[in-house]
Amino acid sequence: MSKSALGRGLGALMGGISSTVKSAASSPALNLPQSSTSLDNRERVELIPVSQIKACPFQPRRDFPAEAIQELAESMRVQGVLQPLIVRPSGDHYELIAGERRWRAAQLTGITELPVLIRQADDQKVLELALIENLQRENLNSIDEAFGFAQLIKQFQLKQDEIAIRVGKSRASVANALRLLQLPENLQAQIQRGELSVGHAKVILGLSSPMDQVAVAARVIREQLSVRESEELVAQIQQGKTPAAKQEGVKHAPDVHLNAMQQRLQERLGTKVLLRYRKGKGAVEIRFFSDDDLDRILSILGVSID
């Protein structure tokens, strides 16, 4: 994601904020005054009790890993809340538009008040802003992203090109994301868990039979096939040269050396690591769950972003 695209996305989220408030919202030690800071007649930043904030029914993110929330809570205990949440008034409470991870983490820290930007927004705008916030700030997984797009289409009758404009993506990206929802639910779950990449999923979508799709996905994961190897496998199946479920019942013994190395990497980095290896080639996938988590991992690896 380019810096300019990210800026546009956050600008849409924080629309109308003065430069003074932007500076305060992004500073390492956010210390907003108890009295509200007036932005216009509709928006203001203020501290409100955590108990008055409720989850949003339009939140596109469905998975909030407990480990990641705990790590964010630890960071908040040390650094404080670096950016305000975005909420809208709803009866006698406030409903989250963006910042649910921070809200959940705050409840673990014992923080009683949170800085918020209060916005007036209808349901469609809430979903759009929640998508932008997740896509450009919190790395929404591809399946939750697709469900968010589908909700905009079904509930608000938006077209794919309209969605693309609103979330800062190309129409092709929106279309490709929506195609993932054509996969069987268990394959969608594998994508959400990071077991199956979007690249592999796009290849598997070339098969019309759900049974073939499931069988190929199982082989891709079990044999750690690359996208190129998966393309070759799908092409063979389409040409009738290879049964999709070939060797599906064969159990492969785990590589104890590979597993031991993966475990050592996870212990060293303090996060989930997936080590793929096949015929002298492979990849190391390191998972992170927040910007602070990424900074910590980069520090361990001795990588400077300055």
DSSP per-residue string spanning 165-191: HHHT--HHHHHHHHHGGGS-HHHHHHH
Range of weakest confidence among 11-15, 129-133, 227-231: 11-15
Q: Which of these, 157, 211, 152, 214, lies nearest to 177 by C-alpha position?
A: 152
Q: What is the pLDDT of residue 10?
A: 35
For residue 38, name the pLDDT band (cuts at 50, 70, 90): very low
pLDDT in tens, 240-276: 766 665 544 434 445 667 777 887 888 788 887 878 7
Residues marked as catalytic: 100
pTM of structure? 0.50
* Distances, alpha carbon 232 to alpha carbons 178, 236, 274, in Å: 24, 6, 24
Q: Rounded distance, CA 269 to CA 273, Å?
A: 8
pLDDT value, residue 140 = 66
Mean pLDDT of the chain: 75
- Greatest mean pLDDT among 35-39, 76-80, 112-116, 293-297: 112-116
Helix (H) or strand (E) holding 140, with range, is none
More confident residue, 292 or 208: 208
Residue-level pLDDT at 253: 43
Give pLDDT, residue 43: 59
**C-beta neighbour count of 112 within 10 angstroms:** 11
Q: Is 179's pLDDT higher than 90?
A: yes
Q: Which of 163, 181, 184 is nearest to 172 (CA)?
A: 163
